[in-house]
């Protein structure tokens, strides 16, 4: 019945498996009062602590949850920022066991679909290159794009961290005479700033970038920037199935709670606006000396 320590911690929502491996190496994890080491395996009744704090819930008792968040430009994909800038975690609902883990990252100037889960194993698999989970982006490119550029971007371009490519490139209908053109591009890796760097390798500039799909999930059209919804069991299990994880049997929400009807949408927009106002006031306050 024993399992790898980092896997148990990840399943409990403490963090991703890779992050847990780093914490174990740093001596931050203990098992039954003894500092853990990489390679340790644990039993269901073992007492686990992180930085001296007891992990209250066992991995198998935690119900998997996934949030879909529509990230605005200007937010950082980090828990805290020394400069006090807004982060993607600021508006997420509080969670009793574990914590929210971001599935991948979007840079500060990119908006769109960002997933969060309390299941570290699910997050790790969705991000791992071997599962080849597709990401689709809407991108506005400044400059002249010809068929030779499209062919190179689909064949593969050598970047500083290896070869990258788009698996699909579709131009959106619009003004063909304009130097600003919208494209939908798809790739199956998650390298840092990969979409921007691919276009920039061809001497082109990306002026807008929006993630519109992650794996099987499309960004809900009515979901306002700064708003989030929790995925129902059906969508959650479709996501788990795509990375060969066992299906969940229960959820904390009902399907009807995920629908963005007029009442819920209005409430969400008011909440987002209120949060922006509060952020502005906090930023305007003079810092204590």
Q: What does the pLDDT look like over 142-192, one tens digit per residue?
A: 988 999 999 999 999 999 888 999 999 999 887 566 778 999 999 988 788
| pLDDT, position 37 | 94
| pLDDT, position 195 | 95
Bigger pLDDT: 12 or 223? 223
| pLDDT, position 25 | 94
| pLDDT, position 227 | 92
Chain-centroid distance, C-alpha 237? 17
Contacts for 151-158: CB closer than 8 Å, 24+ residues apart: 152/202, 153/185, 153/198, 153/199, 153/202, 157/198, 157/201, 157/202
According to CATH, the superfamily of the domain at 66-129+217-284 is Pseudouridine synthase (3.30.2350.10)
66-129+217-284 shares its CATH topology with 134-214: yes
List active site positions: 107
pLDDT at 214 exceeding the cut of 90: yes
Backbone φ and ψ for 186, nearest 5 degrees, come out as -125, 140
pLDDT at 209 exceeding the cut of 90: yes
Residue pair 120/14 in contact (Cβ under 8 Å)? The answer is yes
Q: What does the pLDDT look like over 225-282, one tens digit per residue?
A: 999 999 999 999 999 999 999 898 888 776 656 667 777 788 888 888 877 777 766 6
Measured on CA atoms in the order 217, 222, 224, 228, is the torsion positive or negative? Answer: negative
Give the pLDDT band of residue 198 (cuts 50, 70, 90).
very high
According to CATH, the superfamily of the domain at 134-214 is Pseudouridine synthase (3.30.2350.10)
Q: What does the pLDDT look like over 34-70, one tens digit per residue?
A: 999 999 999 888 889 999 888 865 444 578 899 999 9
User: Smallest Cα–Cα separation from 85: which of 288, 283, 238, 285?
Assistant: 283
Bigger pLDDT: 5 or 61? 5
pLDDT at 211 exceeding the cut of 90: yes
| pLDDT, position 21 | 92
What is the pTM (predicted TM-score) of this model? 0.77
Residue pair 71/224 in contact (Cβ under 8 Å)? The answer is no
Domain boundaries, the chain: 3-60, 66-129+217-284, 134-214
Bigger pLDDT: 1 or 42? 42
Give the pLDDT band of residue 84 (cuts 50, 70, 90).
confident
* Mean pLDDT within 210-230: 93
| pLDDT, position 59 | 44
Share of the chain above pLDDT 70, in %: 90
| pLDDT, position 60 | 47
Could you please state the CATH topology (level 3) that the domain comprising 3-60 is classified under.
3.10.290
- The distance in angstroms from the start CA to the end CA of the chain is 55
């Amino acid at each position: 019945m024993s399992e790898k320590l980092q896997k148990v911690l990840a399943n409990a929502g403490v963090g991703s498996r890779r992050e847990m491996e780093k914490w174990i190496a740093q001596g931050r994890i203990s098992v039954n009062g003894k500092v853990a080491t990489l390679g340790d395996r644990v039993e269901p009744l073992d007492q686990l602590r992180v930085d001296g704090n007891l992990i209250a819930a066992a991995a198998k008792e935690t119900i998997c949850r996934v949030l879909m968040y529509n990230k605005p430009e200007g937010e950082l994909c980090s828990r805290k920022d020394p400069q006090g800038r807004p982060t993607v975690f600021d508006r997420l609902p509080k969670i009793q066991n574990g914590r929210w883990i971001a599935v991948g990252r979007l840079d500060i100037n990119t908006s769109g679909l960002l997933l969060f889960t309390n299941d570290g194993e699910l997050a790790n698999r969705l991000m791992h290159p071997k599962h080849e989970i597709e990401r689709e982006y809407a991108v506005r490119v400044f400059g002249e794009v010809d068929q030779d550029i499209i062919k190179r971007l689909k064949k593969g371009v050598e970047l500083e961290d290896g070869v990258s490519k788009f698996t699909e490139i579709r131009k959106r209908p619009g003004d063909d005479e304009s130097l600003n053109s919208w494209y939908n591009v798809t790739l199956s890796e998650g390298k840092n700033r990969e979409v921007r760097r691919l276009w920039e390798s061809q001497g082109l500039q990306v002026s807008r970038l929006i993630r519109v799909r992650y794996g099987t999930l499309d960004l809900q059209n009515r979901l306002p920037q700064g708003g989030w919804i929790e995925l129902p069991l059906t969508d959650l299990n479709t996501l788990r199935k795509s990375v060969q994880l066992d299906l969940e049997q229960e959820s904390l929400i009902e399907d009807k709670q995920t629908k963005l009807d007029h009442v819920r949408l209005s409430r969400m927009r008011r909440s987002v606006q209120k949060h922006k106002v509060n952020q502005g006031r906090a930023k305007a306050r003079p810092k204590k000396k």
